[in-house]
Amino acid sequence: MLHGKEDKHSNSFSKEVANQLGGETVNFCYQCGTCASSCPVAKVTERFNPREVLRQLLLGERREVLFGDAIWLCCSCYNCQERCPQKVEIADVFYALRNLAIKEGKMPNIYFEFSAGLTNEGRIVPISKFLEKKRTEIGLPPLKPAGVEAVRKILSATGFDKLSRKKEESS
Amino acid sequence: MTSYALFLGCTIPARQPHYEISARKSLTKLGIELVDLENMTCCAPPPLQSVDLETSLSIAAYNICLAEEADLNIITLCTGCFESLSIANALLKEKKELRKRVNETLSVVGKEFRGSKEVKHYLQVLRDDLGLGRLKDSITKDLSDLKAATFYGCHSLRPSSLLRFDDPEAPRIFDDLVETIGAKSIAYRHKLRCCGGLLRGYADDVALAIARDKIVNTTKAGADCIVTLCPFCFLTLDLGQVLMKSTFHEEYKMPVLHYSELLSLGLGIDPKELALEFHKISLEKVLTKIK
């Protein structure tokens, strides 16, 4: 049984996740399944069960977890995180896992599109000419310019820009 | 008059002018001044947190810095923006090491997160700044025939320890605000369950199956409409019904509207001024019940 970060049995993958922002609480999981029974995604598909992902993680199955489909199926609703009796920040653990997977070059297209929108426009949903015209017609004020230069500097300072470039190279 | 820096985000100005116009008209009419600041950006919501959590917190913090410089608290319309900005604000006020790292990042754009401002959802502003009594007194239309299914979405409520919006398992604020303006807030099955919206683009079939549950349950409960707070929930449930027809061959006609739209109608704002043509499912059934 695992009892937190200091446990001598915890493997290198669960330590890696626990050292990642969002992943700190992962080793407190005792596999009760409250997360799975609270999960709206697990209700409709067999492709996702948060307890099973955490189990694989705690068993050190790094490749299966990071390169599998399941970590992308958490809908970030935080139901599990609210209810976890061990206070594992489960939704945040999924962010930590996705952050690691992306560092390894595994990035689903939709996330690449969002990242590109942020880098190019400072906003992840581009505004069309039709909508710009429509906004004026219905009396909305012109949209203030986004701080795209500032965003680019921040993305470059944290290395985020390199993460999305990695995807471009591999596709 | 209370003034706030309006944080619009990405989806509302680009896709849902009906949300923006109804929010601007109703909040302004109620004496809440909305200030549009330059250089705000995306809030860095879950899809970007998935790419890199710390960068996302830095982007959110950058936007909070703009409000700090303008000496204004932030008001949000989009629940996703409320969550991203609130989480960053709470975490960076609390965690000194993280704040130090984020401020090192922000130094490249000459900003420093000071933690001097609050991020508020517009429902909190209506309840706490205006008050339910004054809100009730401002309503000129009769909404008492309308049975509304409130849908909180996820990121107004959870993670509750950081958002502090309402009880995540038994919230009242939204229902109270719907009833204050005269409509009836009805109970329905799985009311607090997610709409599935964030899976759109990765697993559309899964997202639609989750959204279907919401439409089926509100229909069974006899709702006249679903009332939303989040542009993503709105899209998932409104456009979602069109997709359910082609995917499941099931036809639903459940009107979906934002609380700011219902509020605008209650305040007597002409529906013609509210760009309601942006709804996929007609609001006719709702409009005929408002007198």
Indicate yes or no: CB of B41 within 8 angstroms of CB of A40: no
Residue B33, beta-bridge partner list: B3
Indicate yes or no: CB of B38 within 8 angstroms of CB of A147: yes
Is residue B15 included in any domain, yes or no?
A: yes
Residues B107 and B152 in one domain: no
Residues B164 and B227 in one domain: yes
Is residue B132 included in any domain, yes or no?
A: no
Indicate yes or no: CB of B41 within 8 angstroms of CB of A125: no
**pLDDT value for A126:** 87
B248 interfacial to chain A (CB closer than 8 Å): no
Residue B75, beta-bridge partner list: B6, B120
Indicate yes or no: CB of B11 within 8 angstroms of CB of A125: yes
Hey, of A118, A129, A131, which one would you mutate to test binding to chain B, going by the most B CBs within 10 A of its CB? A118
Rounded Cα distance, A107 and A102, in Å: 5
Residues B158 and B257 in one domain: yes
Residues of A in contact with B20 (CB under 8 A): 140
Hey, of B11, B25, B55, which one would you mutate to test binding to chain A, going by the most A CBs within 10 A of its CB? B55
Q: For A150, which of B13, B24, B39 is closest by C-beta distance?
A: B39
> Could you say which residues from 108 to 147 on chain B have a Cβ atom under 8 Å away from some Cβ of chain A?
108-109, 111
Residues of A in contact with B260 (CB under 8 A): none
Search chain B and give the residue with CA nearest A135.
B17
From B77, B92, B122, give the residue that closes a domain: B122
Search chain B and give the residue with CA nearest A134.
B17
Please compute the mean of the pLDDT values over residues A15-33 and round it to a whole number: 98
Which DSSP letter does residue A68 get? S
Is residue B152 included in any domain, yes or no?
A: yes
Residues B173 and B264 in one domain: yes
Of B279, B9, B241, B12, residue with least CA distance to A131: B12
Quick count: other Cβ atoms within 10 Å of Cβ B101?
17
Of B229, B233, B63, residue with least CA distance to B156: B229
Domain count, chain B: 2
pLDDT 10s digits, A87-97: 999 999 999 99
Indicate yes or no: CB of A151 within 8 angstroms of CB of B62: yes
What lies within 8 Å, CB to CB, of B37 at 6+ separation is A144, B5, B6, B66, B67, B70, B72
CATH number for the domain harbouring residue B191: 3.40.50.11810
The residue type of A10 is S
B62 interfacial to chain A (CB closer than 8 Å): yes
The whole-angstrom distance between B6's CA and the closest CA on chain A is 11
Q: For A144, which of B37, B45, B46 is closest by C-beta distance?
A: B37
Alpha-carbon separation of residue B165 from A145, B123, B160 (angstroms): 30, 9, 7
Residues B20 and B69 in one domain: yes
Is residue B134 included in any domain, yes or no?
A: no
Is residue B130 included in any domain, yes or no?
A: no
The ipTM estimated for the assembled molecules is 0.96
Domains in chain A, CATH or no CATH each? 12-103 (1.10.1060.10), 109-170 (no CATH)
Quick count: other Cβ atoms within 10 Å of Cβ A110?
16
Q: Three-state SS string across B120-172, please?
A: EEHHHHHHHHHCHHHHHHHCCCCCCCCEEEECCCCCCCCCHHHHCCCCCCCCC
Residues of A in contact with B52 (CB under 8 A): 99, 102, 158-160, 163
The whole-angstrom distance between B115's CA and the closest CA on chain A is 19
Is residue B244 included in any domain, yes or no?
A: yes
Q: Using the predicted structure, report yes or no on whether residue A1 has a pLDDT greater than 70.
A: no
Residues of B in contact with A163 (CB under 8 A): 51-52
From B69, B96, B122, give the residue that closes a domain: B122
Residues B107 and B157 in one domain: no
Rounded Cα distance, B108 and A158, in Å: 10
Is residue B112 included in any domain, yes or no?
A: yes
Hey, of B8, B12, B25, B50, which one would you mutate to test binding to chain A, going by the most A CBs within 10 A of its CB? B50
Residues B144 and B260 in one domain: yes
Q: For A145, which of B38, B169, B275 is closest by C-beta distance?
A: B38
Residues B280 and B201 in one domain: yes
Residues B18 and B101 in one domain: yes
Q: Using the predicted structure, report yes or no on whether residue A53 has a pLDDT greater than 60.
A: yes
Angle, CA of A12, A15 and A21, to the nearest 5°: 140
Indicate yes or no: CB of B42 within 8 angstroms of CB of A122: yes
**pLDDT value for A11:** 87
Search chain B and give the residue with CA nearest A94.
B50
Q: Using the predicted structure, report yes or no on whether residue A171 has a pLDDT greater than 50.
A: no
CA neighbours closer than 13 Å in the CB half-sphere of residue B159: 21
In which domain, by residue range, is B248 found? 140-287
Indicate yes or no: CB of B44 within 8 angstroms of CB of A118: yes
Residues B235 and B111 in one domain: no
Residues of B in contact with A47 (CB under 8 A): 203, 206
Computed from CA positions of residues A72, A73, A75, A80, in that sequence, does the dihedral angle turn out positive or negative? negative
**pLDDT value for A168:** 52
Residues B146 and B118 in one domain: no
Indicate yes or no: CB of B108 within 8 angstroms of CB of A79: no
The whole-angstrom distance between A86's CA and the closest CA on chain B is 15
CATH number for the domain harbouring residue B117: 1.20.1050.140
From B65, B94, B122, give the residue that closes a domain: B122
Query: What torsion do the CA atoms of B10, B235, B45, B69 make, to the nearest 10 degrees?
Result: 40
> One digit per residue, pLDDT tens: chain B, 291 residues?
699 999 999 999 999 999 999 999 999 999 999 999 999 999 999 999 999 999 999 999 999 999 999 999 999 999 999 999 999 999 999 999 999 999 999 999 999 999 999 999 999 999 999 999 999 999 999 999 999 999 999 999 999 999 999 999 999 999 999 999 999 999 999 999 999 999 999 999 999 999 999 999 999 999 999 999 999 999 999 999 999 999 999 999 999 999 999 999 999 999 999 999 999 999 999 999 999
Q: Are B108 and A154 in contact (CB under 8 A)?
A: yes
Residues B146 and B226 in one domain: yes
**pLDDT value for A2:** 47
Q: Is B215 helix (H, G, I), strand (E, B) or coil?
A: helix
Is residue B262 included in any domain, yes or no?
A: yes
Q: Using the predicted structure, report yes or no on whether residue A5 has a pLDDT greater than 50.
A: no
Please compute the mean of the pLDDT values over residues A156-170 and round it to a whole number: 77
Residues of B in contact with A151 (CB under 8 A): 41-42, 59, 62
